[in-house]
Chains A and B, each alone.
Chain A
Amino acid sequence: MSAPLLEVEGLARHWAVKGGTVRAVDGVSFALGRGETLALVGESGCGKSTTARLALRLIEPTAGRVRIDGTDITGLSGGAMRRMRRQAQIIFQDPYASLNPRLTVGEAIAEPLIVHGIGDAASRAARVRELLGLVGLAAWQAGRFPHEFSGGQRQRIGIARALAVQPALIICDEPVSALDVSIQAQVVNLLKDLQARLGLAYLFIAHDLAVVKHMADRVAVMYLGRIMEVADKRSLFANPRHPYTRALLSAIPQPDPRRRGMVKPLGGDVPSPLNPPPGCRFHTRCPHAEAICREVEPPDVEVAPGHRSACHFAAALPPVEALAGEGLSPIAARRLALFAERKPTQSAPSTLT
């Protein structure tokens, strides 16, 4: 196997605050191959977005390495880092904050081309038209300002801007969680479509498991700045080997009253990253916690090929018949169906939405 496109090793970011250090991201490692989608899921505040920004060095890491296409970017100088940014781009959660209100859509999409000195004015204009078409917007809309577009359209403009420099990797920081469900389907399918056409790799940050199930090849579950479990999508949803993953999957709303109460929801709050619990970080809320969990940090063990879990009892956890079906509630399943249904209309550029 060739070197992965994105390789993150022991990545950490600590913030000094009054009274201690917040360990927002505390030793995260993963790898992402070309054309692959790795979803990073977890509760709010677990460090997903910080990890995304660290991977692009938008925030300087406290420790750890990030390699893009084999090059360690943590030590790159200003100019080399700026050139490296052609390889990896980012899409943001909030489509209203991610576009400069003073630039027309065409200017915003051409900006990366100008910055990297790609083409002349005429070829850039052509490229902007091409990119707009690629994300399903019309070329004449290049002269419009962001406020003239809906949230879903703005998100697609953000995608076009990210695609402008032909990156191999796009980091999607909750790209659909600010959108309506029907618009989510469009954007998610657009991302899948672009991946198929352009061979993109996605680091896909999300907290919505239905979207993750639709998008991801592999899933990494984060809790309090650490990765708890990584596996390919199928085995993670069918056979989660970490109690936290199980809790997440069972937290999907369960409309069938006969199934309610079969899985205990998690009690308590996420502990503060200012002072993470000793031993396993999850032991304060874990239904399976024992003495060892309070003292010894569990190692990251491979429970099956490509399936790693950081739990002392990863192999000993009971089977998961309590989790509904494949781990998806009927509501989530309906949304998945909606995504699939929307798919055929996706490739035709539509300007109506």
Chain B
Amino acid sequence: MSATTAEAEAPRRPGLLARLLRDPAAAGALIFTLLLLAAAALAPWLAPTDPLDNNLALSMQPPGSPGLPLGADAQGRDMVTRMLFGLRASLLMGFSATLAGGVVGVLLGFLAAFYQRWLDGPIMRLMDMMLSFPAILVGLAIAAIFGPGLSSVVLALAIATVPLMARIARGSALVTMRLDYIEAARAIGMTDARLIWRHLAPNCLSAIFVFTTLRFGQVILLGSALSFLGLGAQPPTAELGAMASEGRNFLFFAPHIAVIPCIGIFAIVLAFNLLGDALRDALDPRLRF
């Protein structure tokens, strides 16, 4: 018993990966996520053609046609190429929005928890206000100001992510702040910045990490929705949501043009959700046996 509790407190213990891989769904999600990331990173080298190379003779070729395993879209562009670049754009968008929103949100959450007396009220009420706007509405507003495009989507999604991250960070910081080692750090006489950076933040990271993984899936989904609505990536840029939107017009003649990007979105979101759940289980000592 004591061995397991001791192990539970081990932050850099080996075996987090091993525990992740023990759960088949988690192992699948992890491997699939890594494959997606590799495919997105290597898109320019893996893709058989240029994503903008169109050949109207091949327009709407179904999957399995010679040389086109996933068929071609309305412009006769290779769907394999489009998917690889679409994946790249979507993941990049999700990554930058989650990162930007996460950094700002976590910082605000830590400040709210650390200077609870002065900052908790103002910061968290601001977060509540931000939470009351749906992400789509924020996206519309940003697109109206800066014009549609991937960077507008990233900005909108980052803004929508900030309050969620702030809540998670504040919650876990409030718990950690009660521990004696924070008081010991104060008694040593270190500056608040050092205390937050070296003692508070590292011990709140697992909750934040898990939530980030889950949020990443949601951000991709929201980003695709914004692109589908025409607020995000503009044609001819390959992006999964925008590709689904373009394919919508041909749903009855060439369903693969819309369905394949949708399957892609579905797979990314599912993989990140499974990974997030598995990480939460693997990082939570109470769920281990």
A158 interface residue, CB < 8 Å from B? Answer: yes
A146 interface residue, CB < 8 Å from B? Answer: yes
Complex Cα spacing A101 to B204, Å: 11
Complex Cα spacing A85 to B189, Å: 6
Residue ID in chain A nearest B186 by CB atoms: A58
A100 interface residue, CB < 8 Å from B? Answer: yes
B115 interface residue, CB < 8 Å from A? Answer: no
B288 interface residue, CB < 8 Å from A? Answer: no
Picked from A81, A84, A88, A158, the residue with its CB within 8 Å of the CB of B184 is: A158
Residues of A in contact (CB 8 Å), total 34
Residue ID in chain A nearest B7 by CB atoms: A147
Chain A to chain B contacts (Cβ below 8 Å), 5 pairs: A81-B189, A85-B188, A97-B180, A101-B203, A158-B184
Chain B residues positioned under 8 Å from A249 (CB to CB): none
Task: List residues 190-232 of chain B with CB under 8 A from any CB of chain A.
Answer: 190-191, 194, 198-199, 202-203
Task: List residues 14-69 of chain B with CB under 8 A from any CB of chain A.
Answer: none
A145 and B11 contact, Cβ closer than 8 Å, known pairs A92-B180, A102-B203:
yes
Chain A residues positioned under 8 Å from B181 (CB to CB): 97-100
The segment from A25-33, A109-117, A221-229, A311-319 found at the interface with B is: A109-117
B202-A89 in contact (CB<8A): no
A343 interface residue, CB < 8 Å from B? Answer: no
Chain A residues positioned under 8 Å from B185 (CB to CB): 100, 111
B9 interface residue, CB < 8 Å from A? Answer: yes
Chain A residues positioned under 8 Å from B186 (CB to CB): 58
B187-A97 in contact (CB<8A): no
Complex Cα spacing A82 to B9, Å: 30
Enumerate chain A interface residues (CB-CB to B < 8 A).
53, 56, 58, 81-86, 88-90, 92-94, 96-103, 111-112, 115-116, 145-148, 158, 161, 165
B6 interface residue, CB < 8 Å from A? Answer: yes
How near does chain A come to B17, taking the closest CB pair, in angstroms? Answer: 18
How near does chain A come to B76, taking the closest CB pair, in angstroms? Answer: 55
Chain B residues positioned under 8 Å from A81 (CB to CB): 189
Picked from B12, B189, B191, the residue with its CB within 8 Å of the CB of A145 is: B12
A82-B179 in contact (CB<8A): no
Complex Cα spacing A101 to B189, Å: 19
B287 interface residue, CB < 8 Å from A? Answer: no
Complex Cα spacing A148 to B6, Å: 7
Complex Cα spacing A116 to B189, Å: 8
Chain A residues positioned under 8 Å from B179 (CB to CB): 97-98
Complex Cα spacing A81 to B191, Å: 11
